[in-house]
Amino acid sequence: AQTVTQSQPEMSVQEAETVTLSCTYDTSESDYYLFWYKQPPSRQMILVIRQEAYKQQNATENRFSVNFQKAAKSFSLKISDSQLGDAAMYFCAFIQSGGSRLTFGEGTQLTVNP
Amino acid sequence: EAGVAQSPRYKIIEKRQSVAFWCNPISGHATLYWYQQILGQGPKLLIQFQNNGVVDDSQLPKDRFSAERLKGVDSTLKIQPAKLEDSAVYLCASRAQGRIFNEQFFGPGTRLTVL
């Protein structure tokens, strides 16, 4: 069974600064996808970024980028130029290729200070 | 395109009562999921439908939870009778069939409080 661990229950960052959220996972699969989801107080889960395990290049989406270390089973999210609207709960999630069950971590609550 | 719709957004009931949640997935999405998200935790899959058939209900507490998707579109999740530990947000998600990339689109959730 796959597990996803987020060791930072809470993080805070100053507006315009950079913050990194950590995630580790455990799997015996070699082909899978990793995701970061954002969940604001409205509860709507929004996909922030995804990474295919077979790709060595780290994914980027505007101010969001990941550091994917497959051998270490690590998948961190970097948010650059943090904005007040980035404040939310962030979840790391895993799904094996061809599968359909998402496994989520426990989440990291990000606070952005003005 | 319209997103995943859920209702109600909030529900407060007393223990041992029954409750039902409704989900309308994105049009054309064959796969539908129900997740339970307890406060402070990540979502946990309860049940997955492919069209109107159940694919995975291994984590559904079948003694009190039931779900159906009769016409392969809308779905309802029912709890009968509710327990205090059922207090959570219930998220519905859907996914298009045949996509290489397994993105699931989530609804706004229903927050259930059991007193």
What's the pLDDT at B33?
Answer: 95
Query: Low-confidence residues of chain B, pLDDT below 50?
Result: none
Q: What is the mean pLDDT of chain A?
A: 94
Taking the CA of residue A40 and the nearest CA in chain B, the distance in Å comes to 10
Choose the closest CB to B106 out of A44, A100, A106: A44
Q: Which pLDDT value is given to residue B10?
A: 96
pLDDT tens-digit profile of B94-109? 998 765 666 889 999 9
A35-70: per-residue pLDDT in tens? 999 999 888 899 999 999 999 899 999 999 999 999
Kindly compute the dihedral angle of the four CA atoms of residues B33, B38, B44, B47, in this order, to the nearest 10 degrees.
Answer: -40
What pLDDT band is residue A106 in, cutting at 50, 70 and 90?
Answer: very high
Residue A54, classified by CB atoms within 10 Å of its CB into exposed (0-12), middle (13-18) or buried (19+), is exposed
Return the pLDDT at B102. 63
Residues from B contacting A (CB-CB < 8 Å) are 31, 33, 40-45, 48, 55-56, 89, 91, 93, 95, 101-104, 106-109, 111
Q: Is A107 helix (H, G, I), strand (E, B) or coil?
A: coil
Mean pLDDT for the stretch of residues A65-86: 96
Residue B107 has a pLDDT of: 95
Residue B103 to residue A102, Cβ atoms within 8 A: no
Mean pLDDT calculated for residue range A98-112: 91
Residue A110 — pLDDT band, cuts 50, 70, 90?
Answer: very high
For residue A95, give Cα distances in angstroms to A2, A10, A36, B13, B62: 9, 24, 12, 34, 25
> Tell me, what's the pLDDT at A29?
87
CB contact under 8 Å between B93 and A45, yes or no, is: yes
- At A98 the pLDDT is 76
Cβ contacts of residue A60 below 8 Å, gap of 6+? A49, A66
Rounded to whole angstroms, the Cα distance separating A112 from A14 reads 6
Contacts of B95 in chain A (CB under 8 A): 100
Residues on A contacting B at a C-beta cutoff of 8 Å: 4, 33, 42-47, 50, 91, 93, 95, 99-102, 104-107
Backbone angles phi, psi at A66, to 5 degrees: -120, 155
- Best B60, B104, B111 member to test A by mutation, with max A CBs in 10 Å, is B104
Residue A2: pLDDT band (50, 70, 90) is confident
User: Given an 8 Å threshold on Cβ–Cβ distance, is A47 in contact with B103?
Assistant: yes
Please state, in angstroms and rounded to a whole number, the distance separating the CA atoms of residues B36 and B10. Answer: 14
Report residue A81 as tokens.
């130029």
Q: For position B1, what pLDDT does the model report?
A: 63
Report the C-alpha gap between B85 and B81 in whole angstroms. 12
For residue A39, give both structure tokens: 């969940």
Residue partners of A49: CB distance under 8 A and separation at least 6: A35, A36, A59, A60, A61, A64, A65, A66, A77
Which three-class secondary structure string do you get for A2-47? Answer: CEEECCCCEEEEECCCCEEECCEEECCCCCEEEEEEEECCCCCCEE
A58 within 8 A of A37, measured Cβ to Cβ: no
